[in-house]
Structure 1
Amino acid sequence: MNLRSGRLKGQMKGEVADFTSSLEFDRRIFQADVRCNQAHTTMLIEQGIIPSDIGKKILKALDELEKEGITALKLDSAVEDIHMAVENYVTSKIGPEAGFMHTAKSRNDQVATDLRIALKEEIEEIEKELLLFIKITIQMAQNHLDSIMVGYTHLQHAQPTTFAHHLISYAQALKRDYGRLYDAYHRMNLCPLGSAALTTTSFPINREQTAKLLGFSGPMENSIDGVSSRDFIAETVFALTLLGTTLSKISEELIIWSTYEFRMVELADEFSSTSSIMPQKKNPDVAEIVRGKTAVLNGELVTILTIIKSLPQSYNRDLQEVTPHLWKATDTLHSALRITREMLASAEFKDERGEELARANFSAATELADLMVKEGGLPFRTAHQIVGRTVSTALDKGMKAEDVDAQFLDDISQELTGKTLGIDESIVKKALDPQEIIGSRKVIGGPAPSMVQEVIDNLREFVDNPS
């Protein structure tokens, strides 16, 4: 069928047809388009809008097309889009009566429906991958409840913590990423079909029925909004972009931690490469590629927002150009998600090195200040000053944290405040022990193994019942 043979006199030039065609990325909505036509035709039959015998022939042809797949279609730019390709296929099977299939609908509401169907399926798959990622992460945390490491701020030694506590920070970020996709899914789960071009139709269609047949929670309640809204795409890509940011941060830490200077993680060989000239190298190439590829998501999001930001209601052909950026974003995220999960799962955490770093460079300093508040009755700012001076003096003298004792603290306190602290030596040593420090952090969200275990249990419940 040639749509141009009515209103328009001439054919579109080949180059122009190629430029305006959406067929290349319409392939992603082929199955959704067939389902959309099946549901709409079924409703037309039920409502008595088209003859039942013709409707059944249309459905039979659509069923055949569904089995044969997209290769059964003639796809070239002269066809314009997937919707006309499908209609042409049905026409080739049953003749002009195939035109009844398009009664009371437009390509405008059809593509809007197809996109929601296809994107919902993409989100469902990503959600499954995310839950598996969280499950693997909490299992790794379970195995490292007592594995001491140093936590960082500004990439400088900060306070002692555990690998489990750090891994759970990944799991919590991934859980929020899941929540954003879950919310986006449920906001898009309304059906535009029946909006037609923009003002619905005078035919007595049943929009509740087509929504039900297509797995939506109901129809969209404004037909102009139905054909023109693409905020569900922008929202989804935003959620994917934040998820990509989470993956990039995980990859960044694996890159840093696998360096000789840190030596906290050993990446599996299958996620590493070597140098073409330096035979000793083991490069974290996969993590670096994840870090680079996830940047694509930021670009796709900005492009989508830029396309839709100045469009008047309702349908404009510009909306066609949103779609390839959506699929580029979902494909990029999907592969990065799987690879990052497998890479993290294969990583070997170096417990001895983690503890070595935790015991170095005065990461217990905050606990010392807290000790002076609890045992010496000092204001925290005064304690902060004494400990700061203690650290700088110890470093000048080449001392390690374990070399600091009660007398050393008294000397510093006397110098700064004119008073000694009088804290028992055993208490000072306890305050300088990373294991003791971690065990004392029995606050919600803290690194004490008992608190991390509670969070692991909560996350397991979430993975088992995420809705």
Structure 2
Amino acid sequence: MEKREKDFILSLESDRWLFYADLLVDKAHVVMLKERGIIKKDEAAEILKFLTKIKEKDFIEYELPSYEDLHTAIESVLIREIGEEIGGRMHIGRSRNDEVATCIRIALRDELLELMKEVNYLRRALIEKAAENVDTVMPGYTHLQHAQATTFAHQYMAHADALARDFSRLLNAYEHTNVCPLGAAAFASTGFPIDRAKTTKLLGFNSVLENSMDAVSSRDFIIETISCFSNLMTNLSRLAEEIILWSTSEFDFICVPAEYVTGSSIMPQKRNPDYAELIRARAGTVYGCLMSVLSICKALPYTYNRDLQEATPHLLKATKATTASVLVMKGMVEGLELNKEELEKQAEIGFTTATELADTIVRETDTSFRTAHKIVSELANRGESGVTLRTIDDAAKSIIGKKLSEIGLTEKKVKEALDIASNIKKRDAKGGPAKKEVLRMIDRRRADLDKDGRSRQAKEERVKRNLDELEREVKKKKRIIKVTKK
């Protein structure tokens, strides 16, 4: 068989990602085998001594390329170093099927904990940027056209809230990921008296993934996780698109930090928002990973099939793209400079007070909202430069046959309705852009963020405690007198 054909079956990139997890799984399995009396204590000591001596860089560079996969490589080198009589016992009661499924879950668990931390950093950056700009007026948009006046704080709190839901989804994905398939073996478990609860605890999992067929063949946790990544990247792409648009000469709302723009090879003046553009593009990359994994897992018969090997690279690619995008976005948000004068100027353009004018007509004249809407729409269609009580009366007369000034509307109320600051202040319903309401949301979101941070940290600390216990068990069992290799 030619090298190209042999390489077809390899999974070296994913195996590098799983290296640390694989060593943990090996250690926990050997500790359990010894405690259950399946292997002798001196045999366990020999194996564990080897596992603690492996150097990741050297092993991946010099040993891994010679073998089909990481799991085979570690066992093969173990046997080469301490002999098959002892080294060949490490794999008792397990298969590569449950081993690799466990490794993927451990590696992904760590990635999820890190990503949740980065998402919270980004949420914090958005909230604090909002807190700095509760009085910064800007136009709000529908269909990318001026709609109503709002504040920069209101807009950025919307992004923060979307990311809060992303955090919640990632937390759920973590719970579904952090269950242990180890001990399922190929798919029918094993006749050895293993202790699945022991390895589950030592490896920091929440619980055993019980059904041994389900344990080795399910990759729904990967699909769920990349789905969460896709939703997160969708939200990031919306924020990235705003940054791209708002930094153009046509908008001129913001200035992107210098470290997040690039120049041109020919045009000296260019400040291209390449980082934001790449975040926007990598949303598509993550979607592609999701569709690939869905297609790979579709209609696979129970239990394990080699098709599943192809899912892991897509998971790794989606994970790296998503985490990097969150990290970059945080830096951009923190460094954004606002052109407050232009934002306020644009808030005055496009008759953004039209809705409040219609509302005022309803309140002051007891006219139905639909009728008031028609009157203000007539004003907008006429395109007159200034709206006054007189122009409103003219429009009303053409719509309802009478002047609104005759039934309660005053010049004072018209001026108030057309004032941007007054518009925003009145919109104090829950979730609205009024300053007091935005400040309330900022305080609440800070508290929610702190709570989410503690929740994530508790999970991280629980895993660390269990892995520390694993290392103590390994050290204790390594103290056994070394057996001479035959």
Classify the secondary structure of the residue corresponding to 1:445.
coil
Question: Within 5 A, what are the aligned runs for 1:67-86?
Answer: 68-72=55-59, 74-76=62-64, 78-86=66-74
- Residues 83-105 of structure 1 deviation map (CA, whole Å, 9 limit, x = unaligned): 01111222233211111110000
The separation in 1 between residues aligned to 2:444 and 2:97, in whole angstroms, is 44
The separation in 1 between residues aligned to 2:105 and 2:211, in whole angstroms, is 16
Residue 365 of structure 2 corresponds to residue 376 of structure 1: yes
Partner of 2:79: 91
Residue 383 of structure 2 corresponds to residue 406 of structure 1: no
Partner of 1:7: none
Residue 449 of structure 2 corresponds to residue 463 of structure 1: yes
Residue 297 of structure 2 corresponds to residue 308 of structure 1: yes
Check 1:191–1:92 CA distance in 2 against 1; reply closer, same or farther (3 A cut): same
Select the residue among 91, 102, 107 that pairs with 1:118: 107
Check 1:281–1:78 CA distance in 2 against 1; reply closer, same or farther (3 A cut): closer
Question: Within 5 A, what are the aligned runs for 1:47-446?
Answer: 47-65=36-54, 68-72=55-59, 74-76=62-64, 78-96=66-84, 97-393=86-382, 395=383, 397=384, 399=385, 403-422=386-405, 423-446=409-432
Classify the secondary structure of the residue corresponding to 2:49.
helix
Of the structure 1 ranges 242-251 and 38-47, higher mean CA displacement relative to structure 2 is found in 242-251
The separation in 2 between residues aligned to 1:101 and 1:245, in whole angstroms, is 45
The separation in 2 between residues aligned to 1:104 and 1:220, in whole angstroms, is 16
Deviation at 1:78, TM superposition (A): 4.8
Classify the secondary structure of the residue corresponding to 2:186.
coil
Match of 1:451, as an amino acid? E
Deviation at 1:443, TM superposition (A): 1.0
Deviation at 1:77, TM superposition (A): 5.3
The separation in 2 between residues aligned to 1:359 and 1:14, in whole angstroms, is 68
Unaligned runs of 5+ residues in structure 2 are: 456-486
Unaligned runs of 5+ residues in structure 1 are: 1-11
- Residues 167-186 of structure 1 deviation map (CA, whole Å, 9 limit, x = unaligned): 00110111111111110000
- Residues 343-365 of structure 1 deviation map (CA, whole Å, 9 limit, x = unaligned): 12111111111111111110000
Deviation at 1:76, TM superposition (A): 5.0
- Residues 354-384 of structure 1 deviation map (CA, whole Å, 9 limit, x = unaligned): 1111111100001111111111111111111
- Residues 94-153 of structure 1 deviation map (CA, whole Å, 9 limit, x = unaligned): 211111110000000000000000000001111110101001110000000010000000
The separation in 1 between residues aligned to 2:21 and 2:270, in whole angstroms, is 48
Is the Cα contact below 8 Å between 1:23 and 1:75 reproduced in 2?
A: no
The separation in 1 between residues aligned to 2:375 and 2:131, in whole angstroms, is 38
Partner of 2:469: none
Check 1:306–1:60 CA distance in 2 against 1; reply closer, same or farther (3 A cut): same
Classify the secondary structure of the residue corresponding to 1:20.
coil
The separation in 2 between residues aligned to 1:408 and 1:357, in whole angstroms, is 23
TM-score, scaled relative to structure 1 = 0.94
The separation in 2 between residues aligned to 1:254 and 1:405, in whole angstroms, is 36
Match of 2:14, as an amino acid? F
Q: Percent identity?
A: 44
Of the structure 1 ranges 268-277 and 449-458, higher mean CA displacement relative to structure 2 is found in 268-277
Deviation at 1:24, TM superposition (A): 2.9
Match of 1:438, as an amino acid? I
The separation in 1 between residues aligned to 2:168 and 2:57, in whole angstroms, is 34
Deviation at 1:166, TM superposition (A): 0.3
- Residues 280-315 of structure 1 deviation map (CA, whole Å, 9 limit, x = unaligned): 332222211221222111111111110001211110
Is the Cα contact below 8 Å between 1:30 and 1:70 reproduced in 2?
A: no
The separation in 2 between residues aligned to 1:306 and 1:182, in whole angstroms, is 25
Match of 1:94, as an amino acid? I
Residue 16 of structure 2 corresponds to residue 30 of structure 1: no
Is the Cα contact below 8 Å between 1:294 and 1:336 reproduced in 2?
A: no
Match of 2:425, as an amino acid? G
The separation in 1 between residues aligned to 2:269 and 2:5, in whole angstroms, is 55
The separation in 2 between residues aligned to 1:249 and 1:170, in whole angstroms, is 9
Match of 2:449, as an amino acid? V
Residue 434 of structure 2 corresponds to residue 448 of structure 1: yes
- Residues 411-463 of structure 1 deviation map (CA, whole Å, 9 limit, x = unaligned): 21112101221211111111111111111111111001111111111111122
- Residues 302-338 of structure 1 deviation map (CA, whole Å, 9 limit, x = unaligned): 1111000121111000100111111111111121111
Classify the secondary structure of the residue corresponding to 2:208.
coil
- Residues 177-236 of structure 1 deviation map (CA, whole Å, 9 limit, x = unaligned): 111111000011110000000011111111111000000011111100000001111111
Match of 2:175, as an amino acid? H
Is the Cα contact below 8 Å between 1:144 and 1:164 reproduced in 2?
A: yes
> What is the aligned residue count?
448
Deviation at 1:276, TM superposition (A): 3.0
Deviation at 1:55, TM superposition (A): 1.0
Of the structure 1 ranges 103-112 and 167-176, higher mean CA displacement relative to structure 2 is found in 167-176
TM-score, scaled relative to structure 2 = 0.90
Is the Cα contact below 8 Å between 1:21 and 1:77 reproduced in 2?
A: no
Of the structure 1 ranges 292-301 and 158-167, higher mean CA displacement relative to structure 2 is found in 292-301
Partner of 2:458: none
The separation in 2 between residues aligned to 1:279 and 1:60, in whole angstroms, is 60
Residue 7 of structure 2 corresponds to residue 18 of structure 1: yes
Deviation at 1:70, TM superposition (A): 4.3
